[in-house]
Structure 1
Amino acid sequence: MLRQFAERAEAIGRDLLDFFHEPSSLFQMAVVAVCFILATIFDRLSRGAIEDQARRIKGAPRVLRLVAAIRRRMRLVYFVLLVWMASLVDAAAGGPASEIIAVVLKLALAFLVIAVASRIIRNRLLARLITLVAWTFAALSILHWLEPVAVTLDGAAVTFGATRISLLLAIKTVALLAGTLWLASVIGQFLDARVRRSEELTPTLRVLIGKFLRIGLILLSLTVALAVAGVDLTALTVLSGAIGVGLGFGLQKVVSNFISGIIILLDRSIKPGDTISLGETFGWIRELRARFVSVVTRDGREFLIPNEDFITNQVINWSFTNELVRIDVKFGVAYDSDPHAVIALAKAAVASVPRVVEANPVVCWITGFGDSSIDFVLRFWIRDPQAGLTNVKGAVFLALWDAFKANGVTLPFPQRDVTLYDARMPKPRAEEAPGGPAPAFAGDAPPVGAND
């Protein structure tokens, strides 16, 4: 293989030396060099005017990207135009066919078209890689070197039993896989966007259909690429089985989250927009993914919770069947307050809070007689739990404070009585001491007030 490649390279080198020894070849190379110098000068002279025109483009980002891509390659544009004009002049003069000028024109034009077309890909590294690969293929085709290079690459091969894998087959397979996967991704995004805009489907069904479409297109692209590349799929059966077993053990958590995501979509236990509580996390669901669920909290943080947690853990869905949520607020008042008046004031105060649902009645009950207060529980309903629970509780407490303060209802606070005894007076016996035995002092330190 290496010997054949060396012989072919030597033959190409001899042909190039014979070609460049001709006077017409040197003249054509000089014309190409002059065109390149003039293109550089024209690019520098027109750079400012083109940039000023590009800044005037408003509201058309795609057009602006195309103009920016052409602007960065204006030297190449001028070079292609100048070489093309040189070829026209040479043809009008009736001279011999200018092979070098024609080849340079084709190579420059191919690179210009490929470089500008690759700007539709946002990833710069991927765009440059595609440009390099596509232009290399075009250059080999223009120079008529495509077949010799293909034969050389096909000669570099290894054989596994009845299967022969060559370097050409590997390159074709990689190129076809990259192209079909990219095409499947673009089609999948387009179909997913169309499904998400459908108002006839439920939110969970939209996500489920979109995921199945993407996965199906990826599997189809892999099968088509391998089949077109000439890979024997039956020879990969044993290998794929072994890889599948290894992936099953190594990626069991990933598979578990994927299956859990499908179960969540099928049983519709949660959907985008639902308000949920999972452990210490409270927020609303922004998006359902194949591996995790995106939950946005009130403070703007976004939690990516694995799907498995929604299957194995206890989840509170505040808007599963409806958006009505009951909230309990506990408070207490002093013993000199009238409980009937307190209940009436509490109900009136809660009714003044905007987020409280008026259709559902507000209730207030006595829950017990505490050490320092009469304890109550106030229950009301809201319809928008995704707007937060702490803030509505705070608004209710503030309304209670204003109502109690305006009507003379006292809010209790803990009180403790401390009794001090004179050391010169006999200590009362345990049964005479109010509240039980007198407290014992640690050590020999005299009690407080012994020296008064």
Structure 2
Amino acid sequence: MQQGPNLIALADNIARAWAGLGQAAMLRQLAVIVCALVVGWFIQQAWDRRLLQLDPEPLNSARRFGQHGAKRVLFPLSALLLVVAARGVLARYQPVHLLDLAVPLLTSLAVIRFVVFTLRQAIGRTSWLGALERFVSALAWSVVALYILGWLPEVIEGLDSMSVTLGGQKLSAWTLMKGLTMVLLTLLVAMWLAGVLERRMAGATGLDASVRLVLTRVMRALLILVAFLVALPMVGINLTTLSVFGGALGVGLGFGMQKIAANYVSGFIILIDRSLRIGNLISVGAERGVVKEITTRYTVIRAPNGIESIVPNEVLVSSVVQNETFSDTQVALPLVFQVSYDADLDRALAILVAVAGTQPRVLADPAPKAFLTGFGDNGINLRLGCWIADPQEGTLAITSEINMEVWRRFKAAGIGIPYPQREVRLLPPLSPAPAVEGLAEPV
């Protein structure tokens, strides 16, 4: 690789800086850099203290982004401005080779810190955010190093020479890299705008939670699509070249991705028509539990035993779903008992109603009622009907408490709970049948 003029100038600056390291001019430049860094640090500390006095988390998203973004870049920008100002003054009286090296480094530091901050704001806290930040930082410092060394134009030329022809259009490695960079930048802006809109929608108390969720996801998807479509023409990629990929995607949706597409469509239907809400107690097929999460592809149902089932949204749309808390949370709790035939039925029915009234979870309106439902083989069948308002808390505990108290009161009142009864008759042995004339005697 041939040495360009930038590399020669850089080498000349480094050589002169090294040769004059002990000279007064070089010491003045070092003092300027150190003072600029110290002053920049104090400015950032003052800004941090100012933020603590203000609202640390303002409701305005743009204001919050500006405050925290300034916190990230205030130190390198302050030092950069001081170095540039000092370089302009000292350049009249002495060489400023060391300051010439400090300017691009401080500029790169400010840009990288701002890009990393924007990544955090747009993407949020994810497990792969740290790796992405390190990759972006390494890539940015590599570009800065190539620029300072003067190799960046030759690297760009080499990447541009590696190209393929697709759909009558030439696509080079450099074009793809520019396209990827523009797509990432526009996606960052789109995701940041989506985050701002999402926070605004979260504060819209007049909208149902499901509607807010649908609008947020639709707006995020549209912003990402618009960012993608805007970025590609900016780097010279014709959108018609993507038609082949669109056709392939359509074929995939038509054959292998029918279920996936149906789940996503069903998810939007569920979220829009609000037939299911988070917290509803539902039963679908063999699954019964509380709806914990609704996404565009599946719904999470938590059973009373703690097991969470992931049910595809297509199943919820195409099957019969029993929503026990659709209009309200009141559900009936039927309990069946049996007493002996010689029991005092009026006393037994009164005990059932009284026991239900002592339970704090049982509603007073509708009031508990007891009924005689039939006469069984072993005893008289009774039924206790009561209502509770928190079925999501489970019914096993309250059923057990009512049964235990009914057992105690029945026992104290002398009301028996019958055992299964069977009548067994012992019949005499059958006498042998008389012989019929004309038939041979049995051997």
TM class by smaller structure: 0.7 to 0.9
**Are 2:19 and 1:19 equivalent residues in the alignment?**
no
Which secondary structure does the structure 2 equivalent of 1:285 belong to?
strand
CA contact (8 A) 1:372 1:413 kept: yes
- The aligned residue for residue 97 of structure 1 is 95
- The aligned residue for residue 277 of structure 1 is 283
1:170–1:390 CA distance, 2 compared to 1 (3 A): same
**Are 2:130 and 1:124 equivalent residues in the alignment?**
yes
CA distance in 2, matches of 1:28, 1:87: 22
- The aligned residue for residue 364 of structure 2 is 358
CA distance in 2, matches of 1:191, 1:14: 47
What is the Cα deviation at residue 403 of structure 1? 2.7
CA distance in 1, matches of 2:14, 2:219: 60
Instruction: Tell me which of 222, 227, 237 is aligned to 1:216.
Output: 222
What is the Cα deviation at residue 344 of structure 1? 1.7
Give the AA of the match of 1:15. I
**Are 2:340 and 1:334 equivalent residues in the alignment?**
yes
What is the Cα deviation at residue 81 of structure 1? 7.0
CA contact (8 A) 2:191 2:224 kept: yes
What is the Cα deviation at residue 217 of structure 1? 1.3
Q: Percent identity?
A: 29
Give the AA of the match of 2:267. G
- The aligned residue for residue 237 of structure 1 is 243
Give the AA of the match of 1:306. P
Instruction: Tell me which of 213, 225, 232 is aligned to 1:226.
Output: 232
1:331–1:26 CA distance, 2 compared to 1 (3 A): farther
Structure 1, residues 78-99: CA drift from partner, whole Å, max 9, x if none? xx979x8899599659664233
CA contact (8 A) 1:90 1:98 kept: no
Instruction: Tell me which of 133, 138, 153 is aligned to 2:159.
Output: 153
Structure 1, residues 350-372: CA drift from partner, whole Å, max 9, x if none? 12211222221333222333343
CA contact (8 A) 1:335 1:374 kept: yes
CA contact (8 A) 1:274 1:318 kept: yes
Give the AA of the match of 2:248. A
CA distance in 2, matches of 1:412, 1:400: 14
Give the AA of the match of 1:107. L
CA contact (8 A) 1:367 1:375 kept: yes
TM-score, normalised with respect to structure 1: 0.72
Write the mapping of 1:160-171 to structure 2, written as runs, cut at 5 A: 160=166, 162-171=168-177
CA contact (8 A) 1:25 1:100 kept: no
1:86–1:168 CA distance, 2 compared to 1 (3 A): closer
Which secondary structure does the structure 1 equivalent of 2:381 belong to?
strand
CA distance in 2, matches of 1:142, 1:20: 11
Give the AA of the match of 2:8. D
**Are 2:387 and 1:384 equivalent residues in the alignment?**
no
CA contact (8 A) 2:331 2:387 kept: yes
Instruction: Tell me which of 400, 405, 427 is aligned to 2:406.
Output: 400
What is the Cα deviation at residue 292 of structure 1? 1.0
CA distance in 2, matches of 1:186, 1:399: 59
What is the Cα deviation at residue 227 of structure 1? 2.2
CA distance in 1, matches of 2:18, 2:176: 38
Write the mapping of 1:41-440 to structure 2, written as runs, cut at 5 A: 92=90, 96-108=94-106, 110-111=108-109, 114-115=112-113, 118-119=116-117, 121=120, 122=125, 123-140=129-146, 146-160=152-166, 162-414=168-420, 429-430=428-429
For structure 1, the 5+ residue unaligned runs are: 1-5, 44-49, 71-75, 420-426, 433-452
CA distance in 2, matches of 1:364, 1:21: 97
CA contact (8 A) 1:207 1:288 kept: no
CA distance in 2, matches of 1:92, 1:218: 48
1:172–1:380 CA distance, 2 compared to 1 (3 A): same
CA RMSD of aligned residues (A): 4.3
CA contact (8 A) 1:28 1:101 kept: no
Which secondary structure does the structure 2 equivalent of 1:361 belong to?
coil
What is the Cα deviation at residue 240 of structure 1? 1.8
Which secondary structure does the structure 2 equivalent of 1:314 belong to?
coil
What is the Cα deviation at residue 108 of structure 1? 4.6
CA distance in 1, matches of 2:417, 2:19: 103
Structure 1, residues 329-357: CA drift from partner, whole Å, max 9, x if none? 11112232122221121112112211222
1:190–1:273 CA distance, 2 compared to 1 (3 A): farther
1:374–1:158 CA distance, 2 compared to 1 (3 A): same
CA distance in 2, matches of 1:225, 1:14: 33
Structure 1, residues 22-43: CA drift from partner, whole Å, max 9, x if none? 55554359979x97xx99xx99
What is the Cα deviation at residue 117 of structure 1? 5.7
Give the AA of the match of 2:101. V
CA distance in 1, matches of 2:170, 2:22: 44
CA distance in 1, matches of 2:238, 2:357: 74
What count of residue pairs does the alignment treat as equivalent? 396
CA contact (8 A) 1:325 1:381 kept: yes
CA distance in 1, matches of 2:105, 2:350: 89
1:182–1:398 CA distance, 2 compared to 1 (3 A): farther
What is the Cα deviation at residue 246 of structure 1? 2.5
CA contact (8 A) 1:353 1:399 kept: no
